Chain A
Amino acid sequence: MPEGPPPAPAVQRIRLRYTKRGRLRFTSHRDFQRAFERALRRSAVPMAYSAGFTPHPKVSYANAAPTGVASEAEYLEIALTEERDPERLRAQLDASLPPGLDVVDAVEVRTPNLADRLQASVWRIRLDGVSPEEAERAAAAFLAAESVEVERLTKNGVRVFDTRGAVASLEVSDGRSGDGARGGAEGGADVRPGRACAILRLVVRHATPAVRPDDVLSGLRATADLAPPVPAEVTRLAQGPLDEESGTVTDPLAADRAAASAVPPATAGPRATATA
Chain B
Amino acid sequence: MPVESVFPRLEALLPHVQKPIQYVGGELNSTVKDWDACDVRWALMYPDAYEVGLPNQGVMILYEVLNEREGVLAERTYSVWPDLEALMREHGVPQFTVDAHRPVKAFDVFGLSFSTELGYTNMLAALELAGIPLEAKDRTVDDPIVVAGGHAAFNPEPIADFLDCAVVGDGEQAVLDITEIVRAWKAEGRPGGRDELLLRLARTGGVYVPRFYDVEYLPDGRIGRVVPNTPGVPWRVSKHTVMDLDEWPYPKQPLVPLAETVHERMSVEIFRGCTRGCRFCQAGMITRPVRERSITGIGEMVEKGLKATGFEEVGLLSLSSADHTEIGDIAKGLADRYTEDKVGLSLPSTRVDAFNIDLANELTRNGRRSGLTFAPEGGSERIRKVINKMVSEEDLIRTVATAYGNGWRQVKLYFMCGLPTETDEDVLQIAEMAKNVIAKGREVTGQNDIRCTVSIGGFVPKPHTPFQWAPQLGVEETDARLAKLRDAIRSDRKYGKNIGFRYHDGKPGIVEGLLSRGDRRIGAVIRAVYEDGGRFDGWREHFSYDRWMDCADKALAGSGVDVDWYTTRERSYEEVLPWDHLDSGLDKDWLWEDWQDALEEVEVDDCRWTPCFDCGVCPQMQTEIQIGPTGKKLLPLTVVNQG
Interface of A toward B, CB cutoff 8 Å: 1-2, 4, 23-24, 26-28, 30-32, 34-35, 37-46, 49, 53-55, 67-68, 84, 88-89, 92, 96, 98-100, 230-231
The answer to whether A2 touches B365 (Cβ under 8 A) is: yes
Interface flag for B231 (CB, 8 Å): no
Q: Establish whether residues B643 and A46, one from each chain, have CB atoms under 8 Å apart when the complex forms.
A: yes
Q: List 15 A-B contacts (CB under 8 A).
A: A26-B14, A26-B21, A26-B23, A26-B24, A27-B21, A28-B19, A31-B259, A34-B258, A34-B260, A35-B256, A35-B258, A42-B307, A43-B642, A45-B643, A46-B643
Stretch at the interface among B241-249, B309-317, B411-419: B309-317
A40 to B643, CA, bound (A): 11
Which residue, of B26, B27, B309, B311, has the highest number of chain A Cβ atoms within 10 A?
Answer: B26
With both beta carbons as reference points, the residue of chain B lying nearest to A55 in the complex is identified as: B342
Complex Cα distance, B310 from A45, in Å, reads 11
Q: How far is the CA of A96 from the CA of B407 in the complex (A)?
A: 39
| A53 near B24: Cβ-Cβ < 8 Å | no
Measured CB to CB, the closest approach of chain A to B31, in angstroms, equals 13
Interface size on B, residues (CB 8 A): 38
* A-B contacts, CB under 8 A, total: 89
The answer to whether residues A89 and B643 also contact, given A24-B24, A34-B264 and a CB cut-off of 8 A, is: yes
CA distance A32 to B11 in the complex (A): 19
State whether A38 and B16 are in contact (beta carbons under 8 Å apart), knowing that A2-B366, A23-B24 are contacts in the complex: no
Name A23's contact: one of B25, B312, B366 (CB within 8 Å). Answer: B25
Tell me whether B643 and A42 are in contact (CB under 8 A).
no
Q: Which residue of A lies closest to B256 (CB)?
A: A38
Question: Considering the chains assembled together, what is the distance between the CA atoms of A32 and B259 in angstroms?
Answer: 9
Nearest-CB residue, chain B, relative to A98: B26
Q: Which residues of B contact A (CB under 8 A)?
A: 7, 11-12, 14-16, 19-21, 23-28, 256, 258-260, 264, 306-312, 341-342, 365-369, 407, 641-643
Nearest 5 A/B pairs, CB to CB:
A38-B310, A41-B310, A42-B310, A26-B20, A231-B15
Least CB distance, A185 to chain B, in whole angstroms: 12
Tell me the smallest distance from the CB of B80 to a CB of chain A, in Å: 14
Interface of B is mostly: loop
CA distance A32 to B258 in the complex (A): 7
In the complex, are the beta carbons of B310 and A4 less than 8 A apart? no
When distances are taken between beta carbons in the complex, the residues of chain B under 8 Å from A35 are 28, 256, 258
Structural contact, B642 and A44, CB atoms closer than 8 A: yes
Contact of B641 among A24, A27, A31, A44 (CB under 8 A): A44
Contact B260 A23 (CB under 8 A): no
Residues of B within 8 A of A96 (CB): 310
Give CA–CA (A96, B310) in the complex, Å: 10
Q: State the CA gap A115–B27 with chains docked (Å).
A: 30
16 other contacts beyond A34-B258, A42-B309, with CB at 8 A cut-off? A2-B365, A23-B7, A27-B258, A28-B19, A34-B264, A38-B309, A38-B311, A38-B312, A39-B310, A40-B310, A41-B311, A54-B367, A92-B642, A92-B643, A98-B258, A231-B16
Q: Which residues of B contact A55 (CB under 8 A)?
A: 342
Residues A54 and B368 in contact, CB atoms below 8 Å apart: yes
Report if A23-B642 is in contact (Cβ < 8 Å); known contacts: A42-B310, A98-B26.
no
CB-defined contacts of B16 to chain A, threshold 8 Å:
231
Chain B residues, Cβ within 8 Å of A26: 14, 20-21, 23-24
Nearest CB of B to A97, in Å: 8
